[in-house]
Amino acid sequence: MDSLKVTPWEVSGELNEGAYKKLVEKFGVDIINDILLNRIKKAAHGKLHPFLYRGIFFAHRDLGAILDDYEKGKPFYLYTGRGPSGKMHLGHLLPFTFTKWLQDTFDVHLVIQITDDEKYLVKKSDKKEIEKMAEENVLDILSLGFDREKTHIIKDFDSAKSLYYYATDVAKHTTLSTVKAVFGITDSDNIGKAFFPSMQIVPSFIIPAITGKKIRCLIPYAIDQDPYFRVSRDVLPKLGYYKPSSIISKFLPALQGNTAKMSSSSPESAIFLDDDEKTVKRKLMKYAFSGGRDTLEEQRKYGANPDIDFSFNVYSFLESDQEKIEKVYGEYKSGSMLSGEMKAIAADKINGFLSDLRKNREAVKDYVQDYAFDPERLRL
């Protein structure tokens, strides 16, 4: 745990089960229990997204309150986001399949924030490059087919007029001491980095703020983003809004194993959205961490451990038919399926997914503007 560092800007150290357990305690979030899972399942007519039954989304805050409202017929909305990056890889995009599943299941509005300002303040120096990345990332995300009426893309720089007005509400109630303690910001950091949390917190109340309707917000995110929403939970009640609810995931495994995030800074650890079929297959065969045995004989005799197998994991995230997944799991675990076969199944699944994306991406270019954040469109 000493070597574990998890902030919104840096994740390092071994991410095993013990590490997640300690993060849960440190951050004070709750584990998603079977009661909650069953309530979601009921709303989803018996089908859970793989991220839920595979325990990738494993923790939450006030998820019960969201389900209470839903069951009473009261609306809520979803908020997620992305810091613009160069080419998106599968690990970047998969969380959005979960958000889309939530939107489809609950039929709710969704705000997607693109934090071009954070990228500029904290990491990159070329605004033009960041804007280009933001544009491409938005096309990648929208290729998943989000509801055109109910999805609202907020690019921070473009939407600054609406965002900044409300960000000052957060800023006025957040001291430098707080952001130093929660985000590890120091006096040698720039003043924009200290202010930026205000901008990321706004979407968690922007729909009630603009519409005047007191509704809840549910935010799916990986656990490194939790500091923003801890601050948000302190501030929002002071402004007359609900605390935001969260549904919180672990990190997706990198190709080489379960203990690091898929990362675009080590290109071979990631499958990019524009990787062709051969590249996907080659990356899986060559680099994907396997839960299989060292020899054919051992594999036949003892079977694989699918839970730590990259190919099985990715396959299970992309396959919507839970029975198929369980069949593959059983065969692989029993030893009747070999590592190479598992990799081939995963490669096919990934290639089918990427091929659909690429088709959608071309179409989306024609109507991407329909998704742009516009206060007028937020009136429920």
Q: Which of residues 273-332 bind a copy of itself (CB under 8 A)?
A: none
Q: Is 198 in the site for a copy of itself (CB under 8 A)?
A: yes
CA torsion, ordered 167, 172, 177, 181, to nearest 10 deg = -40
Choosing from 57, 76, 79, 120, the residue that interacts with a copy of itself (CB under 8 A) is: 120
Q: Is 31 in the site for a copy of itself (CB under 8 A)?
A: no
Residue 127 or 301 having the CB closest to a copy of itself: 127
Sequence-distant (≥ 6) Cβ neighbours of residue 339 within 8 angstroms:
290, 292, 299, 304, 309, 311
Amino acid letter, residue 54: R
Residue 117 or 140 having the CB closest to a copy of itself: 117
Q: Is 365 in the site for a copy of itself (CB under 8 A)?
A: no
Whether 111 and 152 have beta carbons less than 8 Å apart is answered as yes
| Residue 119: CB minimum distance to a copy of itself, A | 10
Whether 229 and 247 have beta carbons less than 8 Å apart is answered as no
Applying CB under 8 A, the site for a copy of itself has a residue count of 37
DSSP annotation of 89 reads B
Residue 156 or 275 having the CB closest to a copy of itself: 156
- x-or-dash pattern for a copy of itself, window 150-189, by CB under 8 A? -------xxxxx-xxx-xx--xxxxxxxxxx----xxxxx
DSSP assignment of 110-156: EEEEE-HHHIIIII---HHHHHHHHHHHHHHHHTT---TTTEEEEET
H/E element holding 19? Answer: helix 17-27
| Residue 279: CB minimum distance to a copy of itself, A | 36
Cα(34)–Cα(42) distance, integer angstroms: 12
Q: Is 191 in the site for a copy of itself (CB under 8 A)?
A: yes
Q: Is 374 in the site for a copy of itself (CB under 8 A)?
A: no
Binding site residues, a copy of itself, CB under 8 A: 117, 120-121, 125, 157-161, 163-165, 167-168, 171-180, 185-195, 197-198
